[in-house]
Amino acid sequence: MSPRSWDIFCTVIDNYGDIGVAWRLARRLARDHGHDVRLWVDDLASFARIAPGLDPALPQQALAGIDIRHWPQTDFPADIAPADAVIEAFGCRLPDSFEAAMAARAVKPAWINLEYLSAEDWTLSHHKLPSPHPRLPLTKHFFFPGFDAASGGLICEDGLIDARTCWQADEAAQNAYWLRRGLPPRVAGELRVSLFAYHNPAASQLLQAWADGPLPVRCLVPEGKVLPDVAGLFGRALRAGDHARLGNLDVHVLPLSDQDDYDRLLWSCDFNCVRGEDSLVRSQWAARPMLWHIYPQDDDAHIAKLEAFLEQYCAGLPAGMAAALRALNLAWNRNGDIPTAWRDAAPWLPAWREHATNWQQHLLKDGDLAARLLHFVGEIS
């Protein structure tokens, strides 16, 4: 039997990534499937940066039809009745009292550990595996997002692809969007890009390559960890609202926006540099060429994850195109020879754009993450 109510627990790790995914999933279950969702978050201040209607001072509030609660790390309320399904986002540890309340239910909740996104083969062998609780009559199941039919898929709201298609065909809507964000409309021959990344010394290389290149490039940089790397190229501090120019490159710093506005930024650009998990997934639905800055890990473990993604993303492409896309992504994540990698990848941009559309269709042919999750939870409930 499918659940009708959900508890989603999320700890904010890198300011926006984890809560970004949890918030999208909560909205997907509530808005598109009509379920009751209670979202527990330990850092409401960071959450409010991507959900401007949220008041970080309120421990309980409703937003977008979702019951949002502050998750205290001590003295968790003892009188909370668990929902039909409980999600630990990215392995966060549930409160002991809440686990006990789950075990006390006559019908035990479906308990899901929603894992980080990865294309690595080992995740498929662990996807949906049960993990019995060592003391309580509860079983947790692992659920791995991914890029193929055997995985948990990726979050995509109902109507999103149609909305994006209409947006990208509506020049007037895009111009109004640029005006609202204080940006000029496009000029002929311009390459418009977004740049959202972690601290990355390769960023100045890429910007310099654009400045020295043959095409005008307008680079839109949401506030974030890469901004000091961008500012270093111009020898001065940059903040939201600033504009800087070098050669054929114009850089505009944007204030961090809510999730819907970030989607429109991705839809409106020709090329998107994204980071982590949430913005990577959203760049897939934009159907535009993209460059992924994966979250850095010790011993270069993140490079194996990047290469696993690129193996799937580049499957079936012409050999030269696949090699250029791989080289650019690896140089971006290893501070390699970015000017050469960009010069080799740039001629493929038209074909890359077509591939991005086909790839997005491939990702959704077996349903999105919420649809696959609902099906699985119905099986184990």
Predicted confidence (pLDDT) at residue 54 exceeds the cutoff of 80: yes
Q: Please, which contacts does 97-106 make with residues 24 or more away whose CB atoms are closer than 8 Å?
A: 98/7, 99/133, 99/136, 99/138, 100/136, 102/136, 102/138, 103/133, 103/136, 103/137, 103/138
Q: Which two tokens stand for residue 31?
A: 């808005």
Q: Among 18, 67, 229, 250, which one carries the catalytic annotation?
A: 18
pLDDT band at 14 (very low <50, low <70, confident <90, very high): low
pLDDT band at 275 (very low <50, low <70, confident <90, very high): very high
Q: What is the pLDDT of residues 218-266, one digit of tens each?
A: 999 999 999 999 999 999 999 999 999 999 999 999 998 899 999 999 9
CA distance 278 to 322: 24
CA distance 127 to 146: 10
CA distance 54 to 108: 31
- Side chain identity at residue 230, one-letter code: V
Predicted confidence (pLDDT) at residue 21 exceeds the cutoff of 90: yes
Please choose, from the candidates 239, 246, 241, the residue with its C-alpha nearest in 3D space to the C-alpha of residue 217. 246
Q: What is the pLDDT of residue 331?
A: 98
Which spans in the chain are helix H? 17-27, 44-50, 96-104, 121-126, 160-168, 171-180, 202-212, 227-234, 259-268, 278-286, 301-313, 319-334, 338-345, 349-364, 369-380
Query: What mean pLDDT comes out for the span 193-209?
Result: 97
Q: Among 88, 277, 344, 368, which one carries the catalytic annotation?
A: 277
Helix (H, G, I), strand (E, B) or coil at 375: helix
Q: What is the pLDDT of residue 15?
A: 55
**pTM for the structure as a whole:** 0.94
Tell me whether residue 18 is one of the annotated catalytic residues.
yes
